Structure 1
Amino acid sequence: MLSQYQHIQVSVDGSKEADLAFSKSVAIAKRNGATLEILHVIDTRSFQNVSSFDSAMVEQVSNDAKKKMEEYYARATKAGVKEVHFSIEFGSPKTIIAHDFPKKNGIDLIVIGATGLNAVERLLIGSVTEYVTRTANCDVLVCRTKENEDIAD
C-alpha cells in the first residue's frame, strides 16, 4: 500500500544533491497535495572556532540562508505546491533534521540528498544523511538520481 504524505520536509544546504532533493520533494508534494517544509540548518559548530565571535558574520550567514530559502520558496510555489513554508534553524543538523523539526511540524516524510557540502565532516563524524536514515521516526527518501521531470526549475 502506498503512503500519501501530508507533511514533507526537505533539507537543503546549497549543494547539488540538496537541490536534487528539493526538486523531488516538490514533485512528491504536488502529487500528494502535501505541505512542503523547506529546512536549512546553520551548524553552530562552525562558529565555535572563531576566536572573537563576530555577530556580523552570523548575521551575514543568516541573510545568505534567508535569500536562498526565499528562492526555494518561489520555485516551489511557481511549480504549483499549494502550501510551502521555510525555516532556518541553528544547531546540530543531524538532530534538527532527524528529530526536532519533524516532531515539531508533524513531518511524515523527510527528503534529503545523498551527500551534502562537507566531505571532510562526512569522513570524520559521519554523514548527516546516514544519521537521518538510521534514526528518524518517519520515512526518509534519499535522493541520488536526477528527477525525470523538469518540475522545480
Structure 2
Amino acid sequence: MMLQQYQKIMVAVDGSNEAELAFQKAVNIAKRNHASLLLVHIIDTRAFQDINSFDSMLAEQATDLAKQSLADYSDYAQKSGIEKVETEIEYGSPKVIIAKQIPQDKAVDLIILGATGLNAVERLFIGSVSEYVTRNALCDVLIVRTDAENKKPENEDD
C-alpha cells in the first residue's frame, strides 16, 4: 500500500548521463503515482557572462538545444504512458530555480535530480546543485545514482 502519492514530479535534465538516469527514474515514479511530470532545463546564464559579443547567439543555441531535448524527453514520457507532461526552460542560477522558484510556481512535490559529477575543488567553488537543492528545497528530493533497475551504471569507475 502506498500512502504517499506524489502529484507533480519535477526532473531537471541537462543532457548529462546523470540527468538521463534521473529522467528514466522520474518516468517510472510518475507512472506508479499517476503523477504529472515536469521536465525542466535550466540554462545557466553565468556561463555566458564572460563572452560578451557571442552571448546572445550562444544563449539562443543553448535554448534551441534545450527545446529539442525537452521535446524528445516529453515524447518518450508520453509514450511511456504518462498523461500529463510539461516542459519548461528557465534562465539563471540552476540551484535556486530548481530548489525554490519552480517548485513554488508549479506546486511540485517531488524533485528528481542526477547526482552531479563535480570534483571536490569544483564543489568548493560552485557548490553542487544537488547538494544545494537537497538542503533548500521545500519538498522531497530524490538524488539518482542508479539506473532504472536500481543498479549502479557499469561505466562508473569510482
Q: So what's the TM-score if we normalise by structure 1?
A: 0.91
Q: Give the secondary-structure state (helix, strand or coil) at the position aligned to 1:88.
A: strand
Partner of 2:83: 82
Q: Does 1:114 align with 2:110?
A: no
Q: Does the Cα contact within 8 Å between 2:49 and 2:55 map onto a contact in 1? A: no
Which residue identity lines up with residue 140 of structure 1 in the other structure? V
Question: 1:1-153 residue pairs with structure 2 within 5 A?
Answer: 2-115=3-116, 121-148=122-149
Percent of aligned positions that are identical: 55
Unaligned runs of 5+ in 1: none
1:124–1:62 distance in 2 versus 1, CA, 3 Å: same
Structure number with greater CO (CA < 8 Å, separation at least 6) is 1
Alpha-carbon offset, residue 123 of structure 1:
4.2
- For this pair of structures, how many residues does the alignment match? 148
Q: So what's the TM-score if we normalise by structure 2?
A: 0.88
Alpha-carbon offset, residue 103 of structure 1:
0.2
* Backbone CA RMSD of aligned residues: 1.6
Separation in 2, partners of 1:84, 1:15: 20
Separation in 2, partners of 1:123, 1:12: 23
1:60–1:5 distance in 2 versus 1, CA, 3 Å: same
Alpha-carbon offset, residue 51 of structure 1:
3.2
Deviations 1:75-102 (A, max 9, x none): 1001110100100000000000000000
Alpha-carbon offset, residue 148 of structure 1:
1.5
Separation in 2, partners of 1:42, 1:138: 22
Unaligned runs of 5+ in 2: 151-158
